[in-house]
Structure 1
Amino acid sequence: MNILMLMLSDNPDTGGMEKHARELSSELARLGHTVTLAAASQHLSDLEPAVKTRALDTGGSRNSPFLLLTVLRLIRANGFDVIHAQGTKAAFVLQRLTPFTRSLMRVATIHGFKSRYPKAAAFHQLIAVSQALATDIAQPGVTVIYNGVSVIPQAPALLPKETERPVWLAVGRLVSVKGFDFLIRTFQYCPGTLLIAGDGPERQRLADLISSTHQSETVKLLGFRSDVPALMAAADGVVISSEREGFSYVCAEALLLGKPVISTDVPIANEILPEKHIFRGEDPKRFAAYLSQDTSTLVAEQAEAQAFAADQLSLSSMASQTLNVYQRAIANLVSIH
């Protein structure tokens, strides 16, 4: 198949959607399909060599005439079989272009919770990256395909000798939606050490909170780290404190590396972890009780979740399920015409 992967994020950093678009493009290319990834230039690296690229100016709104015309020209000039929009911006652009692309198969993947979603009727298939997200979209015919994850085990990162066990690791951009302020307040009532890997605009506020709660010895902001698998190997458990997520890569990576996870009520943790390992509420002391459990017991209790991750959260599984969606959508398109 000749596939256009359209991703219109203008995010200067690499988040879950940007990572997904690159990895799915590369995996489909490895399987012998012709794939073109059209995205902002900062998101066109770390690809399988066979993936074609097209740099787009994604700074305009989804209603920008220039952007709409650029995408339409790209579609018309390359004989694609499948146009796959990644994210709501790309999906809304493709929805606007429906009158000009009726003979082509249109698919969109939604990655995060929004107040308004594209219309499923504008696509031959709408994909959500979690069951919770599919439920929130609340339109007929939405297929759930979990993001695939590629994680290579690494030797444990070196921690200072005085680091107190258990060590809990949190990973993510330092923004309010990740709930790190709540996690830091929670850790006042926890044994051990909390490591937070990531950077972002909330760093100084979180540093001040650590200081004001007298936790400088037990809570550490590590900044951006490229060795997250090594940090996970060194940690006893992984904690997710987000207020919302479309799909938690951190949860998937931790399970694939055999680490126990305690999480707030966000996908995919709340879809595959035991119910008693999902925290719902706003009381730091109650959350602390979840983080005070024996981590070896948590590992045993999450054996089924780890097996699910190994089977369903691989890149090959994601690509296979996506191709199945393409085939079904193409069959429907042929039957209509």
Structure 2
Amino acid sequence: MSPLTTTIVMSSLATGTIITMSSHHWMMAWIGLEMNTLAIIPTISKQHHPRATEAATKYFLTQAAASAMILFSSSINAWSTGTWDITQMTNPTASTLLTSALAMKLGLVPMHFWLPEVLQGSTMKTALIISTWQKLAPMALICLSINNLSTTILLTMGALSAMLGGWAGLNQTQTRKIMAYSSIAHLGWMITIATTLTNITIAALLMYLFMTTSMFYALISSKSKTIKDTTTSWATSPTLMIMTMLILLSLGGLPPLSGFMPKWLILEELITQKLLPMATAIALSTLLSLFFYLRLTYTTTLTASPNTTPAKHKWRFKPLTPSPLLSTTIPLTTMALPLTPLITN
């Protein structure tokens, strides 16, 4: 795309999210979501590759269906209550429809099938945008309307997402699909706690954004699209690979890294609310996610490729300079645990 087109598309992407996050009227929220969707479609399909076109089509159909459900649910609510206010979604049918629509927007189980396929068909940078920025608007709507959403459905979807995100990620060799299932698992944790404390949800979302951005930029810098690619990444930049190992362990939620903070706070709150089976289920599901994070850690930092490897040796080519963004996100991804008291207060 030309610089002018890229500027227009990215501006529309940002504006759509901001409109949705700052609106109180359902129609304005819907318009923001539509702007967001229409701006990301050319970004996904700009490769002019059949896989990219397929990903763009899947994304468009899913998001259009979810937006239509949001408009339908808000119309039902306005018909019965006479208000279009986002915080006044009191009609039970409308609330259930809205919960399903926002779950589809985010990619929660059982409406998660589009996310791994779309990420796999996109470029790394587009996959990063879909995994991070595109989650902001639906999460803002969930936080605004959480008092009227179905708690049972949200808790069920959260637990299933946390478990399936770990379970389905075990079988993947593509790093983008691994990050997609990682995203589903993290969103499951956020949705589980959204029913109780939205401030912990926002803290978990921010930490997820930092960790995912760091991980994607590390993969972009090392040109690692599959697990096999990571085995030869050490020679490109040993320092970056050590940082990648820490990012992966943080994604897994191991102390004393930052990723431990949201999981710790969420489990503590679930236990306080007497939701012990839920807390146990999602804590055990983390072990599944941790397995494929550790597998990536092993291939990235603990595997020295032999000289006869069939993979292309990356040190024969000019390596990419790591993004300046990494110098901001990596410290937040690995060393933000001492900030926990600020969040709990």
Q: Which has the higher helix share?
A: 2
Q: Which has the higher strand share?
A: 1
TM category, shorter: under 0.3
Instruction: Choose 1 or 2 for highest CA Rg.
Output: 1
TM-score, normalised on structure 1? 0.25
